[in-house]
C-alpha cells in the first residue's frame, strides 16, 4: 500500500508521479476486482485511501501542467 500525502507528492519528479499513478491504478483495479467477484477486502478503507492518493497525484500533475 502506497499512500502519499500532498507534501510528499509535491516532491516527486514528473516521471515518479507517472510511475506511482500507474502502480496505484493497477492496485485499485485489483482491489475492485476482488470485491466485484464477491470477495471481501481485508481493509475496507484501503480502497478509499488509494482513490484519494490517485486524486492527489492527478491534482499535482494538473498544477504542474498549468504552471508551464
Is-contact 64 38, C-beta < 8 A? Answer: no
Report pLDDT for 24: 95
Report pLDDT for 1: 60
For residue 35, what pLDDT band results from cuts at 50, 70 and 90? Answer: confident
Mean pLDDT of 19-28: 95
Mean pLDDT of 53-61: 96
Q: What is the CATH number of domain 6-67?
A: 1.10.287.310
Task: Count how many Cα atoms sit within 13 Å of the Cα of residue 61 in the half-sphere of its side chain.
Answer: 14
- Where is pLDDT greater, at 2 or 8? 8
**Hey, where are the domains in the chain?**
6-67
Q: Is the pLDDT score of 2 beyond 80?
A: no
Amino acid at each position: 500500500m502506497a499512500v502519499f500525502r500532498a507534501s510528499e507528492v509535491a516532491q516527486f519528479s514528473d516521471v515518479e508521479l507517472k510511475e506511482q499513478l500507474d502502480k496505484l491504478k493497477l492496485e485499485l483495479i485489483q482491489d475492485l476486482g476482488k470485491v466485484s467477484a464477491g470477495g471481501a477486502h481485508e481493509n475496507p478503507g484501503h480502497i478509499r485511501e488509494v482513490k484519494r492518493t490517485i486524486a492527489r497525484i492527478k491534482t499535482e500533475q494538473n498544477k504542474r501542467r498549468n504552471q508551464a
